[in-house]
Chains A and B, each alone.
Chain A
Amino acid sequence: MSHRFEDVASVRTKLADAKYLADEGIAGIVYLADRLGKPVIVEGPAGTGKTELAKCVATITGARLIRLQCYEGLDESKALYEWNYKKQLLRIQTEGDSNWSEIEDDLFSEEFLLTRPLLEAIRAEDPVVLLVDEVDRLEVETEALLLEILSEYQVSIPELGTVVATQIPMVFLTSNATRELSEALKRRCLYLYIDYPDLERERQIVESKVEGINENLADQVARIVRSIRQLDLKKHPSVSETIDWARTLVLLGIDKVDAQTATETASVLLKYRTDIEKVVKEFADNPDELTPDGV
């Protein structure tokens, strides 16, 4: 089958066109996923663009994004398929007098099948990207639902037989690592860890995502965020929070951050009171802090 990407570099440039700045690792693994036809588990701190990656890959490959949001209690009928029993009942009632074996055959045909995201991804004729979001919220037992799809790209429906994918979709599973995923699942997938970006990449992300930001401010934002991440905090600012913060600054018409604005707007960046206090304290350690310093 034909591949979606030429080489690693092309993945990177295409993603960059879609305003997703991938680093070497991300681009390399997306490329491999395409070549090997394997799903990718994307793990990392919240707000580093895991879901965004799947969306952007869908955009650049011109594919439809099919999303399965996982939650506790998700089951087969919500993830794979379900029989439309109301319709089946109607069918039985309307033809009460015709012969039973005919109806029976008819009842379990595709007409009465409600496809759910996983089956839909398998049956799709057009190119699709399947995103299984927050897979760590599933219980370990439910995880097994995914195994057949992920390794064989097929779904077995007892009444119908096996539905095999016409094309291998790209599959992304995201996880916030609230629990260890099962070995069986991990074994079938490539593993990508998206960490906080380094200074340079974060600056570029801010520049590309925040309209009307000047280079200086973007640089300063990235550097301040890096300094904050070095502190021992309950929750470090994520990339999306960095972007929010940069947007706030732009909206406020600030083009140079000083300590005062930084501490005043810290609540955009940090979500815990103790964290904010810590940062404010840390940055106020210097003597003439919190007084307008004439810049």
Chain B
Amino acid sequence: MSIAEPSTFGGEHPLLDLLSDFIIELRRAGLPVSLTENLDAMEAVTHIPIEDREAFKYALGATLVKNHAHWKAFEVVFEVYFSLRGPEYEVIREGDDALSGEDGEIGAGDGQQPQGGGGGMQSLTPEQLAEMLFKALMNGDAAMLAALARQAVTRFAGMEPGRPVGGTYYLYRTLRNLDLDDLLDQLMEASREEAPEDLTPLEERLERDEFSDRIEQLKREIEAEIRRRLVADRGIDAMAKTLRKPLPEDVDFMHASREELANLRKAIYPLTRKLAARLARKRRHGRKGALDFRSTMRHSLSYGGVPAELKFRYPRPSKPEIMVVADISGSVAAFARFTLHLVYAISNQFSKVRSFVFIDGLDEVTRFFDGVEDIGEAVHRVNTEADVVWVDGHSDYGHAFGVFWERFNRDVGPKTTVLVLGDARNNYHASQSWILKEVQHKARKVYWLNPEPRAYWDTGDSIVGEYGIHCDGVFEVRNLRQLERFVEKLV
């Protein structure tokens, strides 16, 4: 693909190749980069002095990333491609010089340290290093922290060239040796001693936040350093591939790591806001109503009795009543949580929402959401307080449905839409699928949302097929994107 005239950059330019590789990698990571945006980026960087790494990054970001949720992914790819460059790039050489210069200064500035040439830190004892780290954190000395992060990685990560382990392993090793948790308490202790009078609880809290922030910064430095070294060792392409992570909306509910779950939780609030706004709009703009004769006549008066402006009766579609029946056993708990959260966040789109959770017993949890503003808190209570275990705490759909039928079958009416959430892994219990059939007869619609990939359905103890024949639709909902799509369809 010819991307831009190389002549714009003054002849042969390795930067151009690098940029197109970079953009290809962005696309692989799932970012939608169009050709125009590609060209814009190429043009943008001609206006930015390449020595200015930050400005360079923002120039690329502004032209290539048009969704803030993708910024993190962009940053990672950028780090890989532009943090460590060969000698033909002025940027990095300068950066490195500056940094090693700092090392020297630090060694010279601190009287107790042996005055080694170059890095100056190689010859420190671990105790001295710890002390320097402590001081740097205490004073919030960013340059010093960066230098120390480098040193810590050299010493503790034990990186071996060509070894095929991920960066997380090295990070873990480095952090374990630094023992940062303890450090926070020590820092607090020191700052208490330093203060002229006792710290008020508020001040104490602020100090603590400040120190945690600095320690976070140190962690980020260490992580970046490890990444730089890995790139140097294994090459850009290999690293980019290892670091490629799904975008937040593509993260699989069932296999999300703790960090990914936290990101998902953050993503869900803006998502619900968007969804609510969109749905409200949709409702208002369905213009298929019949002619409103009375209103038309009334308005015709201002035109001297000519009905120039036709008025229509806007349809007011009845809002569905929702019953959510969710499996909250271990493997699918995260999925149930997000779906409940989403359904309640847009509950004003429904005339009524009731929710039930089960493992092998079933409990109604609508009460946790009543009049609660903080949905996250309510969802948390569902997980901790609902009474859902009957015998052994292994999913038993059959029994749970039995309880549902016995206690709530009278509440299922022709306006009710029933959503069943779960992977239908029934641990070889009786399926009791007749209940679902009965429910389908009474209810408006029955939908089943399954967080497992479609390929796994009906394998092992999954009997989603057996339940599925009694549903109006069975959907694979593995990530936020699919969940959003389904909910929009539902309303």
- A-side residues, CB < 8 A to B, are 7-8, 24-25, 28-29, 31-32, 35-36, 38, 40-41, 43-44, 72, 139, 177-180, 183, 186-193, 199, 220, 223-224, 226-227, 230, 232, 234, 257-259, 262, 272-274, 283, 286-289, 293, 295
Contact = CB atoms under 8 A, between A and B. Distances in A.
7 contacts: A24-B54, A28-B55, A29-B62, A43-B68, A189-B66, A191-B61, A223-B209
Judged by DSSP, the binding face of B is helix
B148 to A, nearest CB: 21
Contacts of B32: 183
Nearest to A3: B47
B68 to A, nearest CB: 4
Interface stretch (B197-205, B356-364, B449-457): B197-205
Interface of B: 32, 34, 36-37, 40, 43-44, 47-49, 52, 54-55, 58-59, 61-63, 65-68, 71, 200-202, 204-206, 209-210, 213, 270, 273-274, 277-278, 281, 285, 373-374, 376
A8 B62 contact: no
Given A28-B54, A40-B62, A180-B274, 16 more contacts: A25-B62, A28-B55, A28-B62, A32-B48, A36-B44, A43-B68, A177-B270, A178-B277, A179-B278, A187-B34, A227-B205, A230-B209, A272-B373, A274-B374, A283-B202, A287-B201
Nearest to A293: B200
A283 B59 CA distance: 41
Given A25-B58, A178-B273, A186-B66, A295 B40 contact: no
A177 B201 contact: no
A223 B210 contact: yes
Is chain A's binding surface mostly helix, strand, loop or mixed?
mixed
Given A29-B58, A177-B270, A262 B202 contact: yes
Given A190-B63, A232-B376, A234-B373, A226 B209 contact: yes
B202 A177 contact: no
Contacts of B209: 223, 226-227, 230
The 7 nearest A-B residue pairs measured at CB:
A286-B201, A186-B66, A28-B58, A190-B62, A259-B202, A35-B47, A193-B68
A259 B201 contact: yes
A177 B274 contact: yes
Contacts of A199: 213
A29 B66 CA distance: 13
B202 A258 contact: yes
Contacts of B202: 224, 257-259, 262, 283, 286
Contacts of A8: 48, 52, 55
A24 B55 contact: yes
Contact of B48 (A28, A40, A286, A288): A28
B391 to A, nearest CB: 35
A274 to B, nearest CB: 5
Given A35-B47, A257-B202, A191 B66 contact: yes
B277 A179 contact: yes
A179 B200 contact: no
Contacts of B373: 234, 272-274
A145 B274 CA distance: 22
A148 to B, nearest CB: 16
A187 B59 CA distance: 15
A280 to B, nearest CB: 12
Contact of A178 (B44, B58, B205, B274): B274
